[in-house]
């Protein structure tokens, strides 16, 4: 009997699949998933990067993370759809709700992927984890309309690696005894947390595959790459004992972060992720009855270097718009124009009943109170019925204004 059974559930071409479903729901007779199409950038200006691609687009050599103009050169008839954050939030919430009907042991890793500790489901499913995975995969497809890959292993790292094997709508295992056959022959670039810059350094050392990395002396890697070298050697050997973090700790701060599978190199894409993270943080603050006195942005580049910037607020807040505005401004100040792999939005100096400095045009605080009540009402409706029932109009207008001011 295995100690743990961890699932990594990853939506296939998430943003594009979700845009396709929304268009079909609104009467479109074309499924974006069946034609060369991408989500990314502004179709009229042709800037930004490819956030998601259809399988027909992939046949033209289009890859996630490349510039939109470059994708158009490969496929002049390419259909381009701009990203719609509120649609992704709805679909992500719907998938989370479905998974929570199985177990509360779920860790949301990003808007389109999560870990699920199914060890506690043995009483119901026994050791037949494949049957459970098929049930979950097919239920997501039949009830929600999109497909996922599920990777299965004894730890989170290997489960995530497994879910990246052949796509779409597949289940793959990667247990420790399968590493040598299934993972080691892969290019080193396919190992989690290896970016282009790191891969280039590995190649100069003669390290071409994950197996090469796994069989390199860890002391040599640590000498060349410091802590990153030790961590990446463990990953190459399938070593990871991190738990599935399903519950918020009673911490001194509230934060949310996401690791993306490609390098973020433009502000437009970064703001999309900051918006998603800010909304989650705002909801958590309101649910806990807390106000944040400090907002921070955390960044990690493709070389695993981290840096951050924070700002103390005049008035502690739990307002999504305020968190997003401050986090976006901090990103502009902090970003070194290097390729970003992780973005985090954090809040600290949390207070339950903060003393607020009143706006001179709202001396009674009525506007502020009304907005808090509105957001709390929206949160309750979403928790009960899902995101389909309410879209945060003020947040969308805020983002549109940001776009106009670029």
Q: What is the 3-state secondary structure (H, E, C) of the chain?
A: CCCCCEEEEEECCHHHHHHHHHHHHCCCCCCHHHCCEEECCECCCCECECCEECHHHHCCCCCCCCEHHHHHHHCCCCEEECCCHHHHHHHHHHHHHHHHCCCCCEEEEECCEEEEECHHHHHHHCCCHHHHHHHHHHHHHHHHCCCEEEEEECCHHHHHHHHCCCCCCCEEECCHHHHHHHCCCCEHHHCCCCCHHHHHHHHHCCCCEHHHHHCCCHHHHHHHHCHHHHHHHHHHCCCCCCCCCCCCCCCCCEEEEEEEEEEECCHHHHHHHHHHHHHHHHHHHHHHCCEEEEEEEEEEECCCCEEEEEEEEEEEECCHHHHHHHHHHHHHHHCCCCCEEEEEEEEEEEECCCCCCCECCECCCHHHHHHHHHHHHHHHHHHHHCHHHCCCHHHHHHHHHHHHCC
pLDDT band at 389 (very low <50, low <70, confident <90, very high): very low
What is the Cα–Cα distance from 195 to 207, expressed in whole angstroms?
14
Spatial contact of 333 and 285, defined as CB atoms under 8 Å apart = no
Tokens of 174: 């990667």
Q: What average pLDDT does the structure give for the chain?
A: 84
Burial 75-100 (b: 16+ CB within 10 A, else e): beebbbbbbbbbbbbbbbbbbeeebe
Does residue 363 register a pLDDT over 50?
Answer: no
pLDDT band at 357 (very low <50, low <70, confident <90, very high): low
pLDDT band at 364 (very low <50, low <70, confident <90, very high): very low
Does residue 44 register a pLDDT over 80?
Answer: no
Q: What is the pLDDT of residue 149?
A: 98
Average pLDDT value for residue range 129-151: 96
Q: What is the pLDDT of residue 281?
A: 86
Task: Locate the domains of the chain by residue range.
Answer: 1-183, 187-236, 254-357
What is the Cα–Cα distance from 295 to 349, expressed in whole angstroms?
9
* Per-residue model confidence as pLDDT tens digits over 182-233: 999 999 999 998 887 888 999 999 999 999 999 999 999 999 888 889 999 9
Q: What is the pLDDT of residue 352?
A: 81
Minimum mean pLDDT among 176-180, 238-242, 286-290, 368-372: which range? Answer: 368-372
Of 69-73, 77-81, 150-154, 256-260, give the range with the top mean pLDDT: 150-154
Residues contacting 250, CB < 8 A, separation 6+: none
Q: What is the pLDDT of residue 390?
A: 45
pLDDT band at 401 (very low <50, low <70, confident <90, very high): very low
Does residue 355 register a pLDDT over 70?
Answer: no
Average pLDDT value for residue range 150-170: 96
Q: What is the pLDDT of residue 388?
A: 39
Is residue 218 packed enough to be buried (19+ CB in 10 Å), middle (13-18) or exposed (0-12)?
middle
Q: Find where tokens 């050997």 sit.
A: 237
Domain covering 1-183, topology? Alpha-Beta Plaits (3.30.70)
Do 254-357 and 187-236 fall under one CATH topology?
no
What is the Cα–Cα distance from 279 to 299, expressed in whole angstroms?
18
Specify whether 113 is catalytic.
Answer: yes
Q: What is the pLDDT of residue 266?
A: 86
Does residue 161 register a pLDDT over 50?
Answer: yes
**What is the CATH number assigned to the segment(s) 254-357?**
3.30.1490.100
Does residue 54 register a pLDDT over 80?
Answer: yes
Report the share of the chain in percent with pLDDT over 90.
Answer: 51
Tokens of 312: 């103390």
Q: Please state which CATH class domain 187-236 belongs to.
A: mainly alpha
Of 87-96, 240-249, 256-265, 346-355, give the range with the top mean pLDDT: 87-96
Does residue 402 register a pLDDT over 50?
Answer: no
Q: What is the pLDDT of residue 132?
A: 95
Catalytic residue among 113, 257, 279, 375: 113
What is the Cα–Cα distance from 281 to 296, expressed in whole angstroms?
12
Q: What is the pLDDT of residue 406?
A: 40
137 vs 194, which has greater pLDDT?
Answer: 137
């Amino acid at each position: 009997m295995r100690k743990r059974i961890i699932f990594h559930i990853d939506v296939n071409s998430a943003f594009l699949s979700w845009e396709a479903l929304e268009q079909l729901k609104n009467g479109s007779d074309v499924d974006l998933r069946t034609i060369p199409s991408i989500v990314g950038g502004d179709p009229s200006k042709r800037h930004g990067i490819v956030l998601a691609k259809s399988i027909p687009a992939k046949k033209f050599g289009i890859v996630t993370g490349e510039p939109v103009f470059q994708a158009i050169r490969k496929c002049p008839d390419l259909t381009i759809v701009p990203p719609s954050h509120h649609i992704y939030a709805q679909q992500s919430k719907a998938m989370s709700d479905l998974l929570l009907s199985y177990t509360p042991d779920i860790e949301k890793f990003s808007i389109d992927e999560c870990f699920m500790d199914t060890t506690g489901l043995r009483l119901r499913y026994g050791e037949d984890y494949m049957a459970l995975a098929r049930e979950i995969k097919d239920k997501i497809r039949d009830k929600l309309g999109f497909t996922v890959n599920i990777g299965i292993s004894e730890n989170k790292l290997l489960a995530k690696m497994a879910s990246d094997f052949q796509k779409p709508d597949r289940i793959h295992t990667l247990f420790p005894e399968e590493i040598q056959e299934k993972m080691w022959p892969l290019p080193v670039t396919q190992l989690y947390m290896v970016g282009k810059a790191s891969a280039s350094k590995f190649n100069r050392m003669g390290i071409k595959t994950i197996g090469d990395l796994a069989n390199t002396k860890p002391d040599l890697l640590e000498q060349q790459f410091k802590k990153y070298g030790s961590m990446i050697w463990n990953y190459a050997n399938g070593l990871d004992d991190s738990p599935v973090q399903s519950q918020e700790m009673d911490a001194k701060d509230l934060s949310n972060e996401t690791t993306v599978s490609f390098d973020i190199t433009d502000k437009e894409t970064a703001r999309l992720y900051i918006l998603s993270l800010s909304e989650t943080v705002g909801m958590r603050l309101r649910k806990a009855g807390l106000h944040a006195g400090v907002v921070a942005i955390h960044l990690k580049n493709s070389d695993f270097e981290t840096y951050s910037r924070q700002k103390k607020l005049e008035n502690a807040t739990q307002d999504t718009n305020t968190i997003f505005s401050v986090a976006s401004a901090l990103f502009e100040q902090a970003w070194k124009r290097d390729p970003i792999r992780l973005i985090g939005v954090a809040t600290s100096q949390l207070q339950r009943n903060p003393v607020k400095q009143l706006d001179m045009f709202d001396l009674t605080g009525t506007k502020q109170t009304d907005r808090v009540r509105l957001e709390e009402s929206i949160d309750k409706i979403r928790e009960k019925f899902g995101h389909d029932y309410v879209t945060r109009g003020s947040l969308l207008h805020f983002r549109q204004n940001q776009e106009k001011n670029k």
